[in-house]
Amino acid sequence: MSRPIVVVTERGYRRFVGGHPWIYRGDLVSTEGGISSGDIVLVRDGRARNLGFAFFSSSSLIALRMLSREEEPDEAFFKRRIERAVDLRRRLRAERAMERVVYGESDGIPSFIVDRYGDVVVFQTLCGGADRIKEMLVGILRDLLNPRSVVERNDPSVRKLEGLEPVSKLAWGEPVDEVWCREGELDVLVRPLVGQKTGVFLDQQENHEAARAYARGRVLDGFSYQGGFALQVATRAESVLAVESSADALTALRANAARNGVTNVETREANVFDQLTELSRRHERFDMVILDPPAFAKNKEAIAGALRGYKEINLRAMNLLGPGGILLTCSCSYHLTEPLFVDLLREAAADTGRSLQLLERRTQSGITRSCWRCRRATI
């Protein structure tokens, strides 16, 4: 098959041979063959050596997303890649009711995300190349996963960088608004068309279940969303206060609680920063505090402000813990490294006159999570 050709600089060549999946616009030398955004192109270096095939974008700073070195990216190629991703997940872990099946670049199909909720499959095509072939990809998913429904959840803002419109709709199969899936010992409500990401935060699933081991007494869950942490720890705790600013999320949390017969969770619609301050003013104490905030640093320029925000919210949480209390704290800010996160926690502890003992460090999909035992400082 004849493909348009893109020639890259020496720096672009070094990125490619170094295994980086992206080549940026500044590393393009020339194009040949009537190229348009979303095309699959042949990539060459300045010596006319074929480097491989890639998705091309004319609008994003990421101009090339590498697909393969030698294999022709036809339908059979994409089917093999998806089959390999599905087989890998099945080999590495016991099948879950909710799971990510395809991880984009990691599975060799850039910007293509596939999540499964029972017999409902939800996909995202986040670049022009993947979006161009999405009907073919849906057909492959139907053959391999035999779903009841396939949902297109293409509303992330990153698509704007590719000149793509937001889309959230049923792509194939039966209409679906809600799906009940099992997470650990509990049923969880998933809303593929309107919930966060593709329905829920799948990256925290194992950590929700792991949090139960630390739960006791009175628990505060900040940024509770639909209750992923709150409902799991409620099975061990005396009571849980779930604080969340989204009324819709709290409605789902209460539905989850009712479905599972959980009666010891109180929901409170409020700004978490303000609520922590108010609880501290009233001298309330908790045996466990959970913090799972949204990203405070979405780019490098936001790091300084994010550090202040993370330190402040963790400091307020520590002030609410009794002796021996447990702090489960999370960051999903890519640009906030783990050493920086640990340092700010130490600083927050010092400012509250307490010491911390690290009990467990958990990561999933590049997200840092830590669990600490908080003690009053002794002199």
Report d(CA 281, CA 263) in Å as an integer: 27
Sign of CA dihedral 317, 322, 324, 325: negative
Cβ 40 vs Cβ 55: under 8 Å:
yes
Tokens 């720096």 — which residue?
11
Give 241's strand partners: 220, 266
Q: Does the active-site annotation cover 330?
A: no
DSSP code of 294? P
Sequence letter at residue 63: A
**Do the Cβ atoms of 163 and 145 come closer than 8 Å?**
no
Give the 3-state secondary structure of residue 71. coil
Which residue reads 């017999």 in tokens? 119
With a CB cutoff of 8 Å and minimum separation 6, the contacts of 229 are 204, 207, 208, 211, 221, 290, 292, 328
Residues 177-201 as b/e (b if ≥16 CB within 10 A, e otherwise) read ebbebebbebebbbbbbebebbbbb
Cα Rg, the chain, nearest whole Å: 23
**Strand (E) or helix (H) holding 367:** strand 367-376
Closest by CA position to 96, among listed 180, 183, 179, 178: 183
The residue type at 264:
N
Annotated active-site residue in 127, 181, 330, 332: 332
Six-digit token string for 116: 């499964």
Between the CA of residue 363 and those of 98, 183, 281, what are the distances in Å? Answer: 18, 18, 33
- Comparing C-alpha atoms, which of 256, 77, 103 is closest to residue 179? 256
Alpha helix locations (H) across 48-113?
Answer: 75-92
Point out the residues that are catalytic.
332
